[in-house]
């Protein structure tokens, strides 16, 4: 059950030699009967698991020694592609000699890594990574049968990227801690989305509850909310918060206060006033757009002395990057 019928040779470049060898000559393929398990002094566990995305399936046989819970023999049957056979063969081998509890800790990443010819070159192309995921899942199924629990009890968190076994909590934490802004950064930090890519956005080979694009958007939104709240709390508590870190609304309040305390009364005394129209950031500047009212709107100094005075006060009190622009 290999890829002997493929021609051209280029496809083999994406598969390690170990994978190719196991495709055609698996070491642990077969089945174990109840009589064989009894002769070995163990309990027979048979678990089936299928991958809906590709139609592959695997059956895992364990002989578990009751006193130690050690897996003393293991075999498998695989119904699917050559990569599924290779992954299942390596997965089966990795469980032999381990206790059931130790076997549960074997991940699909461990399976894939064990199939590599060298540590730095993936054993299979990204679209075939799901085969090692299936191997990981059948281990959980066998352990659940042995322990008499539900398979979901082995998952403490929601898995977003099945290929790299990256959880929702891990993704949220990594994005926030490292201030990540792109999917590429998330992949670099966690390997999520590096393989079959179906977890990145809708439209992959299977529908998911969580996608990286949505997680990134939601975490960034929460980060912005937290930052706004921190700044607001600091302002209300009297703490010294940099003007540039404030939201537009917070900046507007600070500008209005400075104008009320230092500028507005002088304008009113001369029959004028002013209002702040907008605040924008541009090329390293904080541009404050104002409109003169009353007598100030026609005053000659509104574009010279008065304007310079307003800008100088705001720069001194708030930020040197401020520019005041009348409209």
Residues with Cβ within 8 Å of 221's Cβ and at least 6 positions away in sequence, in order, are: none
Q: How far is CA 323 from the centre of its chain?
A: 40
Sign of CA dihedral 60, 61, 63, 66: positive
pLDDT given for residue 1 in this prediction: 38
> 3-state class of 111 per DSSP?
helix
Choose among 79, 73, 71, 91: nearest CA to 22.
Answer: 91
- In angstroms, the Cα distances linking 180 to 195, 246, 247, 251, 292 are 20, 21, 21, 26, 43
DSSP class of residue 102 equals H
Give catalytic residue positions: 54, 131
Residue extents of the structural domains in the chain: 10-155, 167-225, 243-326
Choose among 17, 5, 57, 65: nearest CA to 39.
Answer: 65
Q: How far is CA 255 from the centre of its chain?
A: 39
pLDDT given for residue 155 in this prediction: 63
Q: What is the CATH number of domain 243-326?
A: 3.30.300.130
Q: What span, in angstroms and rounded, lies between the C-alpha atoms of 108 and 11?
A: 22
- In angstroms, the Cα distances linking 79 to 1, 29, 48, 49, 139 are 9, 11, 11, 10, 16
pTM of the model: 0.53
Determine whether 160 is exposed, middle or buried from the number of CB atoms within 10 Å of its CB (0-12, 13-18, 19+): buried
Residue with tokens 């700044």: 231
Helices (H), ranges, 180-240: 183-190, 212-237
Please state which CATH class domain 10-155 belongs to: alpha beta
Q: What is the pLDDT along the chain (327 residues), one digit of tens a residue?
A: 344 444 445 566 789 999 999 999 999 999 999 999 999 999 999 999 876 555 678 999 999 999 999 999 999 998 878 888 999 999 999 999 999 999 998 877 788 889 999 988 888 887 677 677 778 789 989 999 999 998 877 766 688 988 877 888 889 988 987 788 999 999 887 888 988 888 999 987 678 889 999 999 999 999 988 887 877 776 666 567 788 888 888 899 899 999 999 999 989 988 999 999 999 998 899 999 999 999 888 888 888 889 999 999 999 999 999 999 998
pLDDT given for residue 321 in this prediction: 95
Q: Which two tokens stand for residue 244?
A: 């540039």
Measure the CA dihedral 191/178/181/107, to 10°.
Answer: 20
Helix, strand, coil abundance in the chain, percent, nearest 5: 50, 20, 35
Helices (H), ranges, the chain: 17-24, 34-39, 82-95, 100-104, 108-114, 130-147, 168-178, 183-190, 212-237, 248-262, 264-269, 305-317
């Amino acid at each position: 059950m290999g890829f002997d019928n493929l021609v051209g040779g280029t496809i083999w470049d994406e598969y390690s030699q170990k994978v190719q060898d196991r495709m055609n000559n698996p070491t642990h393929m077969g089945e174990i009967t109840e009589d064989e398990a009894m002769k070995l002094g163990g309990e027979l566990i048979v678990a089936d698991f299928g991958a809906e995305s590709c139609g592959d399936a695997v059956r895992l046989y364990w002989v578990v020694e009751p006193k130690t819970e050690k897996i003393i023999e293991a075999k498998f049957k695989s119904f699917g592609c050559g990569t599924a056979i290779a992954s299942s063969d390596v997965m089966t081998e990795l469980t032999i000699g381990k206790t059931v509890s130790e076997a549960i800790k074997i991940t699909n990443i461990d399976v894939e890594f064990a199939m590599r010819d060298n540590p730095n070159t993936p054993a299979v192309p990204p679209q075939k990574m799901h085969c090692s995921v299936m191997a990981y899942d059948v281990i959980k199924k066998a352990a659940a049968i042995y322990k008499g629990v539900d398979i979901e009890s082995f998952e403490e968190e929601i898995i977003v990227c099945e290929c790299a076994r990256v959880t929702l909590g891990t993704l949220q934490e990594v994005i926030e801690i490292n201030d990540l802004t792109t999917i590429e950064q998330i992949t670099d930090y966690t390997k999520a989305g590096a393989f079959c890519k179906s977890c990145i956005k809708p439209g992959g080979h299977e529908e998911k509850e969580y996608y990286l694009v949505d997680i990134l958007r939601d975490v960034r939104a929460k980060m912005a909310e937290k930052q706004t709240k921190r700044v607001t709390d600091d302002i209300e508590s009297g703490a010294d918060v940099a003007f540039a870190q404030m939201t537009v609304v917070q900046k507007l309040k600070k500008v209005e206060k400075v104008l009320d305390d230092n500028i507005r009364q002088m304008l009113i005394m001369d029959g004028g006033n002013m209002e702040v129209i907008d605040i924008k950031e541009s090329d390293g500047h904080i541009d404050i757009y104002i409109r003169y009212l009353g007598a100030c709107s026609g005053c000659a100094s509104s574009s010279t002395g008065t304007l310079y005075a307003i800008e100088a006060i705001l720069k001194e009190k708030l930020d040197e990057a401020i520019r005041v622009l009348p409209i």
